[in-house]
Structure 1
Amino acid sequence: MIDYVAADFDVHLISTETNSGGVDRAAQNILGRTATAAYAIKWSAGGTGAGLVVPSALADQGVRAVAAPVRTRDGRLWSERDGRRLSVVPWVGDRQGLDGGLDEQQWREFGAVLAATHALPVTPELAAVLPVAGHEQDLASIRATEALLQASPPADDIAAATRHIWMDHAQRIAAAVDRVESLAPAVTPSTVCHTDPHLGNVLATAGRMWLIDWDDAALSTPEHDLMFVLGGTYGAEHIGDQEREWFFEGYGPVTVDPARLAYWRASRGLADIAFLAGEAFTPGDYGDTWRAKAVRLLAANLRPDGLIAMAMDSFDGRPSTRTP
């Protein structure tokens, strides 16, 4: 890896170590250090180049809350090594937003970086790499997880607990699938979105914040990103009315469509429980410590204050306007 990075990016590392953060099973994440700087290195076999093209476009506009990728010697945003995409990004921040939340200035900057993202014109370069967000893969994951839980006997107590939680909520899960399918016609993705801006993907240091991990960037609707501030998502314990007020001071006025918000909440909620249940039910691959945590997260996602429950709440169909 040290040789690859030097040859492709003219960055001369003196050490590397595995960075175990993240759940992207198709990627190898590495912290690399030179004599004077640190870099996040990603060597991935999955996804698209959108996770590098979008933050690069934002950085070109002067948005400081993104870490612009280091370009290769010949000006590209990534290189290809052994059939995998290799990228190098400056290492930023000293803690996640999950660790204590954000302060007033950081919340405003969080709002501003998402507003800038949603205002990006869809250039030919972006259109070439941005997928169109939708629910098909999420519902396919639900069906695959249901089949797994029904076809295989639990291998241990963790797997048994996983099946028990799923079966207890089977009707709610089925209803959420129906809601996603019924709301899909109201959703027309046309806006550049991060699609995963929870506080685990926010890095902070004194007076600064950065939104990272753009790998799931896609054409969507603003509600796909805004739901992570409006409640029910990972890290929501750090987000109250005051934090939302600061966020929208940075973001600016916006009209939130309730049908689109419910659609993305239900779709994301289903994707999360499918992922958690699948890994918790299957011993051997990721270790029992993670599997036990996945069971707890599965139960938390299905609580009355989770995304699926929020998506299933009735709404009157009228858009709501948020103003700073």
Structure 2
Amino acid sequence: MGDTLLRRWLYDDFGLDVVDLSPVGYGADLAAQVWRARTATNVYAVKWSGAGTNTGHQVAAYLGDCGLPGVPEVVRTVEGGLWTFHGKKKRLTVTPWIDGARAAEVGLTVEQWAEYGVLLRRVHDAEPPVRLREALPKRSHIDARVPKVAAEVRARLAQVPEDEVEAELGALWAEHVETIEVLLGGDPPAPTGPRVVCHGDPHLGNVLVAKDGLQLIDWDDVILAPREQDLMFMLGGMGDVGPTSGEQLVAFLSGYGPHEIDQDAVRYYRHIRAREDVVLWSHQALTGPDREECVAITRGILTKGLAALAVSSR
């Protein structure tokens, strides 16, 4: 999409007269594009996404409107809406630009881990209006499409590899066939505990370290689920995008506050996420972009990351 078209959308839809527009290059979501947009008076983050559900942005707007620290406010359209649609039903959304580094790149101090625990607890303790709560998905929209993608990966790997990357991925799947079969073979028992608003993807890649505190961004995967949906990311298997020491984990849990962790629920959500990661990173290794890097990520997940932990803890 050209800059001219996007500038017109931002002016027509949000009343923003953009004087400078630049793409933002990070993020693993191939269904989304992000820009930094500057007007004469302010700077904004602009996202054009076909991922997730509309309810994610509604939750972000609700939390931001409530003044919950750590959740960016949502810029309204000229008609008072939260987004507009363009292209193949992709949402165009705008939030204020946050000057800060990705926590995945700079890490968090022990004190910041405690701060993050406080932030995530506030999200989980939020009580959105009944209609919004009832509209929230109760199953990962990503996991719903995993069986089809997994079948595509398996079919491709059953053929003669077209290049070295495909051959490497095939060898990796063969090496870890038992783990992959467990992940694809069925879910552990589903949790039955109380459901709360969960971010759905609260690893450090979605946390910004700003001068006025941590900011939790990218709400596309919001889900109504037991707290363990989010807490799972803090309990091992996430590498550098989760706590990397016992001290960091203790700090996070101290900030989060009292909650008896349901280990069965952790196993369930760990299994779901591990399956998603193995299948989707493998698929990207076949289709691109960054194919070699995707194989390396898949290898890490299977050998020492979430998949290995999910299977060993069953």
The residue number in structure 2 matching 1:177 is 184
> Is 1:259 aligned to residue 264 of structure 2?
yes
Following superposition, the deviation at residue 26 of structure 1 comes to: 2.5
CA deviation profile, 1:159-192 (whole Å, cap 9, x unmatched): 11011001111111112334x52323x3467321
The residue number in structure 2 matching 1:153 is 160
The residue number in structure 1 matching 2:93 is 87
Q: What is the aligned residue count? A: 306
Greater shift, 53-62 or 117-126, is seen at 117-126
The residue number in structure 2 matching 1:110 is 116
Instruction: For 2:175, give the aligned amino acid.
Output: D
The residue number in structure 2 matching 1:308 is 307
> Is 1:193 aligned to residue 198 of structure 2?
yes
The residue number in structure 1 matching 2:228 is 223
CA deviation profile, 1:218-260 (whole Å, cap 9, x unmatched): 1122111111111111525753112112212221111111111
Instruction: For 1:141, give the aligned amino acid.
Output: V
Instruction: For 2:118, give the aligned amino acid.
Output: A
Instruction: For 1:309, give the aligned amino acid.
Output: A
The residue number in structure 1 matching 2:3 is none
Alignment of 1:271-290 (within 5 A): 271-282=276-287, 285-286=288-289, 290=290
The residue number in structure 2 matching 1:296 is 296
Greater shift, 221-230 or 106-115, is seen at 106-115
Query: Is contact 2:233-2:242 (8 Å) kept?
Result: no
CA deviation profile, 1:25-80 (whole Å, cap 9, x unmatched): 33222211123332111122343212321122222332120111101122211123
The residue number in structure 1 matching 2:15 is 10
Structure 2: runs of 5 or more not aligned: 1-5
Partners of 1:35 and 1:170 lie apart in 2 by: 56
Partners of 1:221 and 1:84 lie apart in 2 by: 29
CA gap of 1:314–1:215, structure 2 versus 1, over 3 A, is: closer
CA gap of 1:207–1:238, structure 2 versus 1, over 3 A, is: farther
State the secondary structure of the residue aligned to 1:182: coil
State the secondary structure of the residue aligned to 1:98: helix
Partners of 2:137 and 2:145 lie apart in 1 by: 12
Partners of 2:48 and 2:11 lie apart in 1 by: 14
Partners of 1:263 and 1:269 lie apart in 2 by: 10
State the secondary structure of the residue aligned to 1:292: helix
CA gap of 1:71–1:234, structure 2 versus 1, over 3 A, is: farther
CA deviation profile, 1:136-172 (whole Å, cap 9, x unmatched): 433443333223322x321111111011001111111
| Correspondence for 1:123 among 129, 138, 146 | 129
Following superposition, the deviation at residue 275 of structure 1 comes to: 1.1
State the secondary structure of the residue aligned to 1:41: strand
Q: Structure 1 length normalisation: TM-score?
A: 0.86
| Correspondence for 2:145 among 123, 128, 137 | 137
Q: Structure 2 length normalisation: TM-score?
A: 0.89
Partners of 1:71 and 1:234 lie apart in 2 by: 36
> Is 1:19 aligned to residue 9 of structure 2?
no
* Fraction of identical pairs, as percent: 33
State the secondary structure of the residue aligned to 2:161: coil
The residue number in structure 2 matching 1:168 is 175
State the secondary structure of the residue aligned to 1:254: coil
Runs of 4+ in 1 over 6 A off after TM superposition: none
